[in-house]
Structure 1
Amino acid sequence: MFDLPKKTQIKRNIYKKLIYEKFPKELSGNKKEIFDKEIKKITLINEISEQSINIRPTDNVSAIFLVLIELKTKDFTNANISLVSRLFGQKILVVLKYEDEYRLSIYETKLLLGDWKKKDEISLILQGLDLSNVWENLVTQVAKIEIEEGNSLEEQISLEARKEKLIKLIEKTEKQARKESQAKKKFELYKQLKEYKKELEEM
Structure 2
Amino acid sequence: MFDLPRSTEIRKPIHKKLIYQKFSAELDGEKRKRFDEDISRITVTNEISEKSVNIRPVDEVSSIFVIQIELKSKEYNERNIALVSKLFGQKLLLVLHVDGEYQLAIYETQLLKSEWKKEAEIKLRIDGLDLRTVWNSFVTAVSGISAQDGNTLSEQIGIEAEKERLKKIIVELERKARKEVQSKRKFELHRKIGEYKKRLEVM
Kept in 2, the 8 Å contact 1:66–1:92? The answer is yes
Q: State the shift of 1:144 in Å.
A: 0.5
Matched residue SS, 2:148: coil
Matches within 5 A, 1:16-55: 16-55=16-55
Deviations 1:25-83 (A, max 9, x none): 33222121111111010000000000111000000000000000000111111111111
2:147 aligned partner: 147
- Residues 196 and 126 (structure 1), Cα distance of their counterparts in 2 relative to 1, 3 Å cut: same
The amino acid across from 2:171 in the alignment is: E
Kept in 2, the 8 Å contact 1:147–1:153? The answer is yes
1:109 aligned partner: 109
The amino acid across from 1:178 in the alignment is: R
2 CA distance for matches of 1:53 and 1:160?
A: 32
How many residues align? The count is: 203
1 CA distance for matches of 2:67 and 2:190?
A: 46
Matched residue SS, 1:151: coil
Kept in 2, the 8 Å contact 1:19–1:84? The answer is no
| Identical counterparts, % of pairs | 56
Matched residue SS, 1:198: helix
**What runs of 5+ residues in structure 1 fail to find an aligned partner?**
none
Matched residue SS, 2:124: coil
**What runs of 5+ residues in structure 2 fail to find an aligned partner?**
none
1:4 aligned partner: 4
Matches within 5 A, 1:129-144: 129-144=129-144
Matched residue SS, 1:60: coil
2 CA distance for matches of 1:185 and 1:19?
A: 53
Q: State the shift of 1:18 in Å.
A: 2.5
Deviations 1:61-118 (A, max 9, x none): 0000000000011111111111111232110000000010000000011110100000
Kept in 2, the 8 Å contact 1:102–1:116? The answer is yes
Query: Which portions of structure 1, spanning 4 or more consecutive aligned residues, are displaced by more than 3 angstroms?
Result: none
1 CA distance for matches of 2:24 and 2:191?
A: 47
The amino acid across from 1:53 in the alignment is: V
Kept in 1, the 8 Å contact 2:146–2:153? The answer is no
Q: State the shift of 1:150 in Å.
A: 1.0
1:73 aligned partner: 73
Tell me the TM-score normalized by structure 2: 0.97
Q: State the shift of 1:182 in Å.
A: 1.1
2:93 aligned partner: 93
1:184 aligned partner: 184
